[in-house]
Amino acid sequence: MRRPLPPAPPGEAVEVDRTISRAGHVSLGQHIVLAAEILGGQRVGIRIDDKTVSFFDLDTRQLLRTRPSPLSPAEVARLRGARPAGPPPQPAAGPVQVQRRASNSGVVMVVGQKVALGRVHAGKTVTIHVTDTELAIACDDGTRIVRRTTDQPVRNLKASRPRKKEPVSA
């Protein structure tokens, strides 16, 4: 039988493992904390320090999200499965890969920026590599590089499904 790890000293960062709900929330003690809807269903590590709650991938320790901590030090000490924290998680170094479905006029929107691909791409799903300075869009006719004009973070990784046409009733 494995013995539990000793509790972390007061004021030190702790970590717990939790599964994110489909709506993107996680329960920490008496608090419901919003992680991110795109993390729904994933098992993640959560690092809790004095001011922040950091969500990270358990295998790579890649930082996924950071939120302000609603927990007091006494509440942190009572968390189920709490252990002393390891090294802080690090953000991803490479580009983020996302998918978008082009509109009926051939336009995609990523990180708050609209990019016109042309009507020949209407309704098609494209893969976009997002970096700090550019968007690399992989289309049927090759890769297009577009300068990034916004500094918004990526919020959605997957393309939206096409809408089903509803029958018109008379």
What is the signed CA dihedral for 118, 119, 124, 128, rounded to 10 degrees? 10
Place of tokens 């990784």: 157
Q: Is 21 exposed, middle or buried (0-12, 13-18, 19+ CB in 10 A)?
A: middle
pLDDT value at position 153? 78
3-state secondary structure of 21: coil
Give how far Cα 107 sits from Cα of 4, 123, 124, Å: 54, 9, 10
pLDDT tens for residues 7-45? 556 668 999 999 999 988 999 989 999 988 888 899 999
pLDDT surpasses 90 at 154: no
Query: Contact 167/49 with Cβ under 8 angstroms?
Result: no
The three-point CA angle 6-10-12 to 5° equals: 85
CA distance 130 to 148: 8
pLDDT tens for residues 81-122? 999 998 999 887 778 888 999 999 999 999 899 999 999 999
pLDDT surpasses 60 at 4: no
Two structure tokens written together for 33: 């904390």
Range 14-84 classified under CATH 2.30.30 = yes
pLDDT surpasses 70 at 160: no
